[in-house]
Structure 1
Amino acid sequence: MTSIEESPESRFSVLLVGAAKLPGVHIKRSSYLKNALSRYCSEEEIGRAIEQSPAAAGIPLEILDKAANDSINYETAKVSAISAAAGIPGLVFMPATVPADFAQYFGHMLRIAQKLAYLYSWPDLFDNDGDDIDDATKNMLTLFLGVMLGAQWANAGVSTVAGLLAEQALKKLPRQALTKGAVYPLVKKVAGYLGKEMTKQIFARGVSKAIPVIGAVIAGGFTLATYYPMARRLKSHLASLEMTKPGPRIVDADVID
């Protein structure tokens, strides 16, 4: 009988928390928005985007899409290169390289999820400057990753949270909804689905690395073929939400949950 610790949901949760603690995975919202929008926006617009949100700053969706594409291309190239390098050792070193490579791959999924969320007017996912991840943030990232992997429950969950953020002008995630309320059952379904999918991908990536050098080419190609469309899928969903539309917002510092 499968124990709770061995359930797909539990395996995914452990992987998510571990990947979130990897160096460079935590994206600083203010620094990222400043860098991502510097090519397209004035300093005044960027300042308002950081203080409130890109939508509240009136930044057109077309500009946000360009910045999002820049970030997707950058992260895709970076993770593909890392994956190809990890594929060079071949079969002898496969048990060591596959977990590390997949952790990096998963970490880059979290990186692009954060970047896209901030561009499309989501609040800071981390409450402080540390890399600790609380339950609300973990569950929100789970929904984002679910969208990337095509889980329809995740789309519904992200849309529900976005509705709460837009209706109540929240500056933080609606924690109760994510950890105990209506969204939480969707999070659990998505986590279980992702736990199964992650196991499949680890196996697939292991097979791609079985032959030295050739494995590097296959591994890099596999990453390119999977990471890019997943990032685009999340981008499309976030861009379609009402909260991304440019316009003034009533900013409320209090969280109504």
Structure 2
Amino acid sequence: MPQGKQVAATTKFDQTLRASAQMPGVQIDREAFLRSELRRFCPDAQVEHAVLTSPAEAGVPLDVIDKIAKSVIKHETSKVTALSALAGIPGGFAVIGTVPADLAQYFGHVLRVVQKLAYIYSWPDLFEDDGDGVDSATESMLTLFIGVMFGVNAAQAGVTQVSALIAKQVAKKLPQKALTKGTIYPVVKKVATLLGVQMTKQIFAKTAAKIVPAVGGVVSGSLTLATFMPMSKRLQKHLASLPLTKPSDWNGPQPVGLQGTAPS
């Protein structure tokens, strides 16, 4: 691909990612999410240990993690298939006029399911500064996660590398240097370019006719069901395969039975 087209494709994806991350309700509060989900299956002490460290370090069984993950995917898929595009675009998003509202909405739900799956599979907080923007390390990590959803092999390798770096850290945080200028950064840029191309060809061009006319437009249910759920399951499968997810020995009370309802 010519250099100019590579830059354009990368820019298109980066713009969409930043615009989607700024939409209301997209950024997930890790602590609140983990408490809400884990309290349905685990004793309070284990829940708090999971919030302070990770579900894996708190010894949350993988069958509990997988059950929550499947519920999250079902919940977010249901929401994105039913949700109409916002009539008004919030301030930060309005600045990026090149990103259509329906596309940003779709990727907003992609980011929601990415965060929820990452947190339940023991990844650290992706938005630690609680700001409206997205810092470089977070943007790189989200790019890799979305790349896994789209089946980009380089993204799977990148996520695996980052998980290994996190596992080695005493303080569990995203490896800023590796994601912004280290060995993983070139992988991130490659994935962003590939996603930009796929987004243009597969999502934008081929599905434009499927956008249902309405106030602001909506993503068609058939399109979403054909893409969102399989993509989410692909990410879940990869995250579940990583050593970062494996539960540690924990001497506290054992989790209760697997009852519960879909996440809010």
Is TM > 0.5 for Structure 1 vs Structure 2? yes
Give the TM-score normalised by the residue count of structure 1: 0.85
The answer to whether the Cα contact below 8 Å between 1:84 and 1:220 also exists between their aligned partners in 2 is no
Give 2:155's aligned residue. Answer: 154
Give 1:116's aligned residue. Answer: 117
Give the TM-score normalised by the residue count of structure 2: 0.83
Relative to its length, the structure with more helix (as a share) is 1
Distance 1:79 1:139, change over 3 A: same
Q: Any idea what SS the aligned residue of 2:75 has?
A: helix
Distance 1:154 1:5 in 2: 17
The answer to whether the Cα contact below 8 Å between 2:85 and 2:101 also exists between their aligned partners in 1 is no
Residue identity in the other structure for 2:176: R
What does the per-residue CA deviation read over 1:99-150, in whole Å, with 9 as the maximum and x for residues that have no partner? Answer: 2121111000000000000001101011222232100000000000000000
The answer to whether the Cα contact below 8 Å between 2:7 and 2:193 also exists between their aligned partners in 1 is no
Matches within 5 A, 1:117-132: 117-132=118-133
Point out where structure 1 has 5 or more consecutive residues left out of the alignment.
Answer: 87-95, 250-257
- Aligned residues with identical type, % of pairs: 50
Give 1:36's aligned residue. Answer: 37
Matches within 5 A, 1:1-257: 3=4, 7-82=8-83, 99-200=100-201, 201-209=203-211, 219-247=220-248
Displacement, 1:176?
Answer: 0.4
Displacement, 1:173?
Answer: 0.4
Point out where structure 2 has 5 or more consecutive residues left out of the alignment.
Answer: 88-96, 251-264
What count of residue pairs does the alignment treat as equivalent?
A: 236
Divergent runs of 4+, >3 A: 1-6, 83-86
Displacement, 1:168?
Answer: 2.5
The answer to whether the Cα contact below 8 Å between 1:5 and 1:11 also exists between their aligned partners in 2 is no
Distance 1:43 1:234 in 2: 28
Distance 1:176 1:6, change over 3 A: closer
Residue identity in the other structure for 1:202: F
Aligned-residue RMSD, C-alpha: 2.5
Give 1:252's aligned residue. Answer: none
